[in-house]
Structure 1
Amino acid sequence: MMIRELILKNFGRFRNRSIRLKEGINIIYGENESGKSTLHAFIQGMLFGMRKMRGRAARTDSYTRYTPWEHPSWYEGSLRFSCGGKAFRLERDFRRGEEGTKLVCESDGELLSVMDGDLEMLLGGISDTVYENTVSIGQMKSRTGDALLLELRNYLSNYQESGDGKLNLDRALLLLKEKKKEWQNRMQTREQQQEAEGKKIKYEIAYLERETEELGQKLLEERKREKAEQEVLRQENPSRQNAHKKKGAGAAWNWKKAVPAVLLGDVIVWGILLCLAGWKAASISAVCILIAVSLFLVYISTAFKKAETEEDTKHAGQPVSDNTSGNSQKESITNDSVRLLTAQLQEKRTRLSNLQEELSELQMAGISDRAEMEEIRGIELAAVTIQSLSVSAQESVGETLKKRISDIFCTMTGGKYKKVSIDEELKIDLFTEERHVPLFMASQGTIEQVYLALRMAVGDIFCSEEPMPLLLDEVFAMYDEERMTETLRWLYTEKEQTIIFTCNRRETEVLEKAGIPFHMVRLQE
């Protein structure tokens, strides 16, 4: 990545100021309070944004510190840079955060999205913490912070033999842990649901079994009662028919007896009257008596028939009838009851069969848990494999880092120091050909150079995909001329773009004396 132009529309003390930069070494010269640190902060703010703090922290944060001196509501800037052979323009309205950010590829006119990670991709995925502790060095900040140690530890723990440090193994392990927990929760939830559903089905099965048993018992009793009633009806019908025949026969027999008795009585009365009253009177009396008795018998016969008809009608209207219609009605009621119970029993048995099938399917579904267990075991195996790989990977990148620091520092010191040792806590020891020098025993200038070498070496690791411009703000104050010359020569050779902010002319004089090309930018008061 190379910065081509800074456009400060309204940022800090600058308003509508444009500064062009070039490949190689750029010297931004200015007196104190001329805005060098403001330009340094502007570059970082354009690349990573400026987060506005809250509460007391907002009084001294970068957002407040570099608020425009005039028209503070207009807080904007642009940065033009090249990356991957294409030119880009990045615009920011700092008041609106990412929503006020616009990234455009000037080579093809494509509008990119900062919120979707396009800018992060162009920056090689580095964070602002890595940026501040590697390629961006502020005034009196040559030494790295504890944040770099944490980032470096994470990088070392995540580095693979292939040299690709972008795979974050800690994050990968965390994701595997979360994935394992997700599968375990899914399996536990499934088991709980299956258990609850199984209990529900078993309860319903037990209830239906009781109901089926009761209905079967009722149906059996109803059929027994139906048979008993049919037997009773078969026995009652012949008895009633015989009684009716006997009643009719008795009535006919009574009529046969009544007629001779009446005639006999009439003859007896006629004989008595003949003896007492004579022939005429006896004949007349006998005829009258015969007529009266005949009329009486007719009346009695009519009354008897009427009474018999009423008796038959009465028997026909009773619930328990002895005729064929009553028997058919009773049989129909009994058959309906049996059919209803049979239909209910069949329905219960069908539902019971369906529930038993559901319970069987639910129990078979538990076999799917085996697949979930296989997933969990696979995740555990992946975690173990990653952890074992990280051990050898850490050793590999650790040795690479030590060698890179030693090479850079040896060049800066003109070969005086041959080796730099650094442990996992970033504790540094120096070695010449004759002796071992703990860092705390070295001069201030040497210490500054060691930390610069450390930053450059770590920056090479983190920014391996897309080398970033190197920003140095007053870092050569403790360097002698010889070491400054060697350091500037190394920067010109190794770095694609270096931006040096300074308030004195030592750097330009050394560069001119050593014949190292550079681009000069002067800030006016």
Structure 2
Amino acid sequence: MKILKLELQNFGKFQNEVLELNDGIQLFYGENESGKTTIHTFIKSMLFGMERGRGRAAANDTFSRYEPWENPGYYAGAMEFECGKKRFHLERSFDKYSKRASLVCLDDGEEFSLEQGDLMMLLPELDPEGYSDTLYIGQAGARTGRNLAARLKDYATNYYVTGDSELNLTAARNALDEQKKQLDRQMKEKLEKKQRQREKLEQESSYIWRDVHRLDEELERIDEALERKEAEEKEKENRRVLDDIRPNKWRIHPLEVAGILLVIVGAFVLIARPWNYLVAIIIALIGGIYSWNRLKEGKKRQKTPPELMLEEITPEEELSSREKLLWERTLFFNEKEEKRIQYENLQEQLAELEEFDQSYKRLEEKKAAVLLASQRLLEVSGKMQGQLQQDLNRTASDVISSVTGGKYTRLITEEDLRLSFLCEGRKIPAEHVSAGTLEQVYFALRMSAANLLYEEVYPVVLDDTFAFYDESRLKNTLQWLARQDRQILIFTCQKREEEILQHERIDHSVHVLT
């Protein structure tokens, strides 16, 4: 890609400002507040658009800082660039009320849609974060950090494994992680559902077990009542049989008669005369009266109907009590059997819950497959990062050797882009060198990363990047930049870049800003 023309129609301090750019090094010179930062902010806004902040952030965001000084309702610009041997015209209106964007090929008139990602198709892999970490080095310095480290890791895994940097294996790992989370949620839901079922079954089982125990007690009570009832009925039956076989005249027991006679004889013999006659007669009269009353009672019983006799001993209640007990026993026994069957079924269901069903086993198998795939991706990613480090170290070492005049020839990048030099067999952390050398280290890292990350050769934007460079290293750096097959945009407030370019006879174009 090469920028051909910048048209700052109404952007910041500029109105209808047109800048035409050439190949190679483009030097933008101007004192402070001449608009250097405005121009490279314009380039970034044309490439990626510009959104207005919300709330308090809107007061100091990029949109507000570069809002046109005059006629802020018209906030727009255009850029012509070359890509794939074709020229394109990109135009944007940033105003919040008339925001729009258009992209047209100047060679054949074809119109493209930024909403559908046509600009990203023309400029692959280019995004605001990557641009700020590689192609653009601002006044804050060249130091970069985790964002570039993560991007290089993704690139290593994607490109070295698949040969295509557009295949995002980080997204694949994220998808696997998300799938694992979903499987974990499903498994957790199943376990929680199973636990709820177990608790419900155990509760029901407990209630039924108590019912069975209560029914056992009721049956035991009824059995005891039936035993007592059976003993009472047997005793009554024995009395009835004895009464039936005994004649009415022998309703007095022979032993009773014998006892009366024995008392009479004893009184007659033992008591002296004449009193023995009197006592014997009195005892005989008493015994006769007693026997007479017993005989009368026997005749009365014989004449009394069986129904009346039964009524005297509450016959209906006594006859029905056994039947009622038997009915209750049958009812309780049947209920107990039903409860027992329910209890056994619940125990079987509890036993089945202890075994995982097929759906849960399938979830476990899927999770194991996801974990294995994720582990393999991590292993491959680690190997590929090692390959990338070798390539990055080689490229960065060439750059740092050129810009330092051969003083440092080996630059080593490690995990999270920890940088160090290999000098005379010793490993020197980059933080131990001077601020100027450290700036050159990160410059070398950014340029090397840009060469690796982007297939398209994009322009490099340098905004007062060389403040810490001495004359010798600035010359080496400009010479190295001149050898690169890409457009270099240098923004500076000093004359020395132009002086070195002229002295070294390096082709360049100068744009003076006032």
Q: Give the residue type in structure 1 aligned to 2:463.
A: D
Residue in 2 that maps onto 1:77 = 77
**Distance 1:146-1:173 versus aligned 2 partners, 3 A rule:** closer
Residue in 2 that maps onto 1:446 = 437
C-alpha distance in 1 between matches for 2:155 and 2:445: 15
Structure 1 residue 163: deviation in Å? 4.9
The answer to whether residue 482 in structure 2 is matched with residue 492 in structure 1 is: yes
**Distance 1:491-1:98 versus aligned 2 partners, 3 A rule:** farther
2:509 counterpart (477, 495, 519) = 519
2:414 counterpart (413, 420, 423) = 423
3-state SS of 1:516 partner: coil
Residue in 2 that maps onto 1:126 = 126
Q: Please, what TM-score do these two structures have when normalized by structure 2?
A: 0.62
Q: Give the residue type in structure 1 aligned to 2:45.
A: G
**Distance 1:509-1:74 versus aligned 2 partners, 3 A rule:** same
Residue in 2 that maps onto 1:466 = 456
**Distance 1:105-1:187 versus aligned 2 partners, 3 A rule:** farther
**Residues 111-150 of structure 1 aligned to structure 2 (within 5 Å):** 111-150=111-150
3-state SS of 2:108 partner: coil
C-alpha distance in 2 between matches for 1:162 and 1:147: 22
Q: Give the residue type in structure 2 aligned to 1:21.
A: L
Runs of 4+ aligned structure 1 residues displaced above 6 Å come to 180-189, 366-378
3-state SS of 2:483 partner: helix
Which has the larger Rg?
1
**Distance 1:114-1:370 versus aligned 2 partners, 3 A rule:** farther
C-alpha distance in 1 between matches for 2:35 and 2:188: 62
Q: Give the residue type in structure 2 aligned to 1:513.
A: H
Residue in 1 that maps onto 2:258 = none
Residue in 1 that maps onto 2:175 = 175
Residue in 1 that maps onto 2:251 = none
Structure 1 residue 119: deviation in Å? 1.0
Any conservation in 2 of the 1:414–1:486 contact (CA below 8 Å)? yes
Structure 1 residue 368: deviation in Å? 11
Q: Give the residue type in structure 1 aligned to 2:35.
A: G
Q: Give the residue type in structure 1 aligned to 2:21.
A: L
C-alpha distance in 2 between matches for 1:89 and 1:75: 17
> Which sits farther off after the overlay, 47-56 or 95-104?
95-104
3-state SS of 1:80 partner: strand
Any conservation in 2 of the 1:122–1:466 contact (CA below 8 Å)? no
**Distance 1:428-1:377 versus aligned 2 partners, 3 A rule:** closer
3-state SS of 2:160 partner: coil
**Residues 27-176 of structure 1 aligned to structure 2 (within 5 Å):** 27-96=27-96, 100-161=100-161, 163-176=163-176
3-state SS of 1:95 partner: coil
Any conservation in 2 of the 1:143–1:451 contact (CA below 8 Å)? yes
C-alpha distance in 2 between matches for 1:475 and 1:98: 36
3-state SS of 1:425 partner: helix
1:263-303 C-alpha deviation (Å, 9 max, x unpaired):
xxxxxxxxxxxxxxxxxxxxxxxxxxxxxxxxxxxxxxxxx
3-state SS of 1:26 partner: strand
**Distance 1:44-1:162 versus aligned 2 partners, 3 A rule:** same
Any conservation in 1 of the 2:156–2:387 contact (CA below 8 Å)? no
C-alpha distance in 1 between matches for 2:184 and 2:436: 57
The answer to whether residue 387 in structure 2 is matched with residue 396 in structure 1 is: yes
1:347-400 C-alpha deviation (Å, 9 max, x unpaired):
xxxxxxxxxxxxxxxxxxx99999999987766654444333222111111211
1:13-55 C-alpha deviation (Å, 9 max, x unpaired):
0000100101100011112111001001000011011121112
3-state SS of 2:456 partner: coil
C-alpha distance in 2 between matches for 1:116 and 1:98: 19
C-alpha distance in 1 between matches for 2:99 and 2:364: 45
Any conservation in 1 of the 2:50–2:63 contact (CA below 8 Å)? yes
1:444-471 C-alpha deviation (Å, 9 max, x unpaired):
22111111101111111222x2121000
**Distance 1:439-1:187 versus aligned 2 partners, 3 A rule:** closer
**Distance 1:2-1:33 versus aligned 2 partners, 3 A rule:** same
C-alpha distance in 1 between matches for 2:181 and 2:381: 23
Any conservation in 2 of the 1:159–1:397 contact (CA below 8 Å)? no
Any conservation in 2 of the 1:50–1:97 contact (CA below 8 Å)? no
Any conservation in 2 of the 1:159–1:390 contact (CA below 8 Å)? no
Q: Give the residue type in structure 1 aligned to 2:109.
A: G
Any conservation in 1 of the 2:13–2:35 contact (CA below 8 Å)? yes
Any conservation in 2 of the 1:417–1:433 contact (CA below 8 Å)? no
3-state SS of 2:405 partner: coil
C-alpha distance in 1 between matches for 2:106 and 2:369: 47
1:509 counterpart (499, 504, 507) = 499
C-alpha distance in 2 between matches for 1:482 and 1:58: 43
> Aligned-residue CA RMSD in angstroms?
3.1
Percent identity among equivalent residues? Answer: 42
Any conservation in 2 of the 1:416–1:432 contact (CA below 8 Å)? no
3-state SS of 1:160 partner: helix
1:456-491 C-alpha deviation (Å, 9 max, x unpaired):
11111222x212100001112222222112111111
Residue in 1 that maps onto 2:467 = 477
Unaligned runs of 5+ in 2: 194-356
Structure 1 residue 173: deviation in Å? 1.9
Any conservation in 2 of the 1:176–1:379 contact (CA below 8 Å)? yes
Structure 1 residue 72: deviation in Å? 0.7
3-state SS of 2:481 partner: helix
Q: Give the residue type in structure 1 aligned to 2:149.
A: L
Residue in 2 that maps onto 1:230 = none
C-alpha distance in 1 between matches for 2:360 and 2:434: 66
Q: Give the residue type in structure 1 aligned to 2:383.
A: S
C-alpha distance in 1 between matches for 2:388 and 2:162: 10
Residue in 2 that maps onto 1:8 = 8
3-state SS of 1:134 partner: helix
C-alpha distance in 2 between matches for 1:20 and 1:126: 23
C-alpha distance in 2 between matches for 1:97 and 1:473: 32
Q: Please, what TM-score do these two structures have when normalized by structure 1?
A: 0.61
Structure 1 residue 123: deviation in Å? 2.0
Any conservation in 2 of the 1:126–1:462 contact (CA below 8 Å)? no
Structure 1 residue 504: deviation in Å? 1.6
Any conservation in 1 of the 2:145–2:416 contact (CA below 8 Å)? no
C-alpha distance in 2 between matches for 1:131 and 1:414: 28
Any conservation in 1 of the 2:28–2:489 contact (CA below 8 Å)? yes
C-alpha distance in 2 between matches for 1:142 and 1:184: 43
C-alpha distance in 2 between matches for 1:369 and 1:418: 58
Unaligned runs of 5+ in 1: 193-365
